[in-house]
Amino acid sequence: MGLTRDEESNTYVTDNNSKLSFLRYNSPFVQIILIGLVCFCCPGMFNALSGMGGGGQVDPTVANNSLTALYTAFAIFGILGGAIYNILGPHITLIAGCSTYVLYSGSFLYYNHYHHQAFAIIAGGLLGVGAGLLWAAQGAIITSYPPANKKGTYISIFWSIFNMGGVIGGLIPFILNYHRTEANSVNDGTYIGFMCFMSLGVLLSLAILPPSKVVRDDGTKCTHILYSNVGAEALEILKLFFDWKMLLIVPAAWSSNFFYTYQFNHVNGSLFNLRTRGLNNVLYWGAQMVGSIGIGYIMDYSFKSRRKRGFLGICVVAVVWSCIWGGGLANQLRYTSSDITEKLDFKASGSDYAGPFLLYFGFGLLDAMFQSMVYWVIGALADDSEILSRYSGFYKGIQSAGAAVAWQVDTHKVAPMSQLIVNWVLTTVSYPLLLILVLLAVKEDNRAEEEPA
């Protein structure tokens, strides 16, 4: 199986004759694949749904209000999620989290027929609770399970599998609504398709092992703690708000989902018709796979020094960010002087479609690069699952608070140009703070390079 137990030291040692030890069920590689599949089915499909703008409805009001409830609850349970994960373990945490995605998609199926906002808003709030649990578990797994010198690679593997959910999820509304270019909302089959995938994610979550049972190829475990308790976790969560490392991450966390409102509603939702929005989603989430792989390589293999890799990764993302949002500014200037009278169609609009589409594709590329980079920085702060579950939960909680504000900003009809400028400024502020964090808190990894998986 690749590992044997040393009875004297009561630890596992690598069997160097096994070239497939990374395929052990209890290896970090296999567990990263599994959590990627869980997120493929649940948040991946959710991303495809929300990425259409307005949750697939022509009027984004119900989706905006539902997402505000979602991210408000997410902000609270994202921060608490790490503690809950440490107490309950992955199975209960993930099952509870994944189940709420099914309910959320079902609420839009209900809205298609009855046009009552209440169910969608309540389902959004419950999904906020569930998403907080799921993403705290996910963050702990992808930052603590991999070996220190391969965290960027493993994060990019996860991000690629997860965003394949957005690709497949984008195909669902594209195919099922291909001939409905003038429809007000996607059809029932679209929401039912999302619900089927999300239900599969609930079942797949049973395959995730707790960190105490996951063994790296060098024989180390992801944590030596078998369980935690409420009092200890409450104290550790409180400490996060006074931890200078977490305070430096706050601007990056706040801005990292803030831009979705502008991208989904004022680029994809405003400029394109229904079927083209579905196609754009396929390529938006496909771009995320490319972005995560590229930045993962830089963060792991560009230099031997971990700090230098961190510096380079942050600087690359900052440059790409400025270029793409510069394109966003140029695109937005085209639409500030007059209302959009005709939606773009990928078949009928010709060259007019190309520019806005490439911008939306670039936004997807940038999102994955930015978030993978931040996860790498968080993962470089520690190796233990118990610590990193709290760090990841804090990141997701602040991220969700920012998203809750962003969706309400849009509900109150703040001008798209103002939203664009705020997004650009918020994220730009985060880069020098992340550089300081890498300089002061990230330790060099002097361990010998392991065999490549």
Which position has the token pair 């361990």? 447
Which fold, 24-441? Answer: Growth Hormone; Chain: A; (1.20.1250)
For tokens 């009875």, name the residue. Answer: 7
User: DSSP string of 285-334?
Assistant: HHHHHHHHHHHHHHHHHS-SSHHHHHHHHHHHHHHHHHHHHHHHHHHHHT
The whole-number pLDDT of residue 308 equals 93
Q: Tell if the pTM clears 0.95, that is, is over it.
A: no
Asked if residue 132 lies in contact with residue 80, where contact means CB atoms within 8 angstroms, the answer is: yes
Domain boundaries, the chain: 24-441
Rounded Cα–Cα distance for residues 383 and 380 (Å): 7
Cross-strand pairs, 11: 6
Residue type, 100: T
Q: In sequence order, what DSSP letters do the residues of 222-246 get, joined into one string?
A: S-S-----HHHHHHHHHHHTT-HHH
Neighbours of 100 (CB within 10 A): 26
Residue 172: closest CA among 197, 201, 199, 200: 197
Longest dimension (CA), the chain: 76
Neighbours of 88 (CB within 10 A): 18
pLDDT along the chain (453 residues), means of 10: 47 50 83 95 88 58 82 90 87 93 90 84 94 90 85 90 87 72 67 92 92 81 66 87 94 92 87 83 89 91 90 96 94 72 79 90 94 92 84 90 86 89 93 95 63 40
- Tell me which residue has tokens 């980079």: 373
How many residues does this entry show for the chain? 453
Look at residue 81 in the predicted model and tell me its pLDDT. Answer: 87
Whole-number Å distance between alpha carbons of 146 and 215: 10
Identify the pLDDT of residue 20. Answer: 59
Number of H helices, E strands in the chain: 16, 2
Give the dihedral sign, CA 60/96/399/77: positive
pLDDT confidence of residue 60: 63
Are 187 and 176 within 8 A, CB to CB? Answer: yes
